[in-house]
């Protein structure tokens, strides 16, 4: 009963490198989300996918791309990492778009040097 | 746009009550939420309140909603050291997405 699984847990990148953060949920949820958490700023939505095959921009999408590979998996890609993307990234899922119960992964701590 | 504001830090003594406050801007939010984040973990839904309610009680937790002032509070009775965490309030925007506050770090002193 894993819930929402994110990999990796920690990553250090150099400026300009690329990487993909992976997220998978086993709850048969339709909607999936990527957030970033910065000190004193709460969580900000990067991208979301209301259902399989659809993706939409959130509040801070610049510098990121996403793929809803199938119903279970939603990945976040940084094509050319920048120090401003140093953050903690959280994936979340919910059954439908009504967010009365979001389930969160444990996060990925990303540092861009 | 929508905005949710919280104070950043609260320190209480074990056994006292804690009150975490939040103000929001979107009066059309159907639900308002409280999430808890323990160190090194993701957020967990703690409780939520429907917008037509003034109060909701769940064991040691009491949520108060003042729609006129757009003010939400979370009261934790008999606060324990295990309650030390960051607490986020959140509202729902017109696209059914959560807008989070910046979080209140609660420190419970023994």
From CA B76, how far away is CA A81, in angstroms rounded?
A: 41
Q: Is residue A26 left, alpha or beta, with left meaning phi > 0 and alpha meaning psi from -120 to 50? A: alpha
Picking from B42, B86, B88 by the largest number of A CB atoms within 10 A of its own CB, the best residue to mutate is B42
A30 in B contact zone (CB under 8 Å):
no
Cis peptide before A8 (omega within 30 of 0): yes
Tokens linked to B18: 């804690």
Q: What is the pLDDT of residue A99?
A: 61
From CA B10, how far away is CA B1, in angstroms rounded?
A: 27
Q: What is the pLDDT of residue B1?
A: 57
In order along its 110 residues, chain B shows pLDDT tens digits of 568 899 889 999 999 999 999 999 877 778 899 999 998 888 898 999 998 899 999 999 999 999 999 999 999 999 999 999 999 999 887 777 788 999 999 999 99
What confidence category does residue A1 fall into, taking pLDDT thresholds of 50, 70 and 90?
low
For A13-44, write each residue's pLDDT tens digit: 999 999 999 999 999 999 999 999 998 778 89
Residue A68: which of A108, A113, A31 has the closest Cα? A31
B86 in A contact zone (CB under 8 Å):
no
Exposure pattern of B83-109 as b/e (b: 16+ CB <10 Å)? bbbbbbbbbbbeebbbbbbbbbbbebe
From CA B9, how far away is CA A40, in angstroms rounded?
A: 10
Strands B71-76 and B61-66: antiparallel
**Contact call for A102 and B43, based on CB within 8 A:** yes
- Phi, psi angle pair for B46, to nearest 5°: -95, -50
From CA B52, how far away is CA A57, in angstroms rounded?
A: 30
From CA B60, how far away is CA A79, in angstroms rounded?
A: 46
B43 in A contact zone (CB under 8 Å):
yes
């Amino acid at each position: 009963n894993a819930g929402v699984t994110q990999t990796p847990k920690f990553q250090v990148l150099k400026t300009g490198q690329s990487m993909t953060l992976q997220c998978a949920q086993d709850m048969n949820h339709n909607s999936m989300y990527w957030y970033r958490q910065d000190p004193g700023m709460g969580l900000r939505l990067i991208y979301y996918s209301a259902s399989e095959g659809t993706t939409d921009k959130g509040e801070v999408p610049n510098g990121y791309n996403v793929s809803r590979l199938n119903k279970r998996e939603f990945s976040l890609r940084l094509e050319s990492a920048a120090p401003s993307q140093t953050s903690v990234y959280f994936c979340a899922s919910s059954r439908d778009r009504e967010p009365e119960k979001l389930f969160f992964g444990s996060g990925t701590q990303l540092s861009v040097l | 746009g929508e905005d949710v504001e919280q104070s950043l830090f609260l320190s209480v003594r074990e056994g006292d009550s804690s009150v975490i406050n939040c103000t929001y801007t979107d009066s059309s939010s159907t639900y308002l939420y409280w999430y808890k984040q323990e160190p090194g973990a993701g957020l967990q839904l703690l409780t939520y309140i429907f917008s037509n309610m003034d109060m909701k009680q769940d064991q040691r937790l009491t949520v108060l909603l003042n729609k006129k002032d757009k003010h939400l509070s979370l009261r934790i009775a008999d606060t324990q050291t295990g309650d030390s965490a960051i607490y986020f309030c959140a509202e729902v925007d017109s696209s059914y997405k959560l807008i989070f506050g910046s979080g209140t770090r609660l420190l419970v002193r023994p």
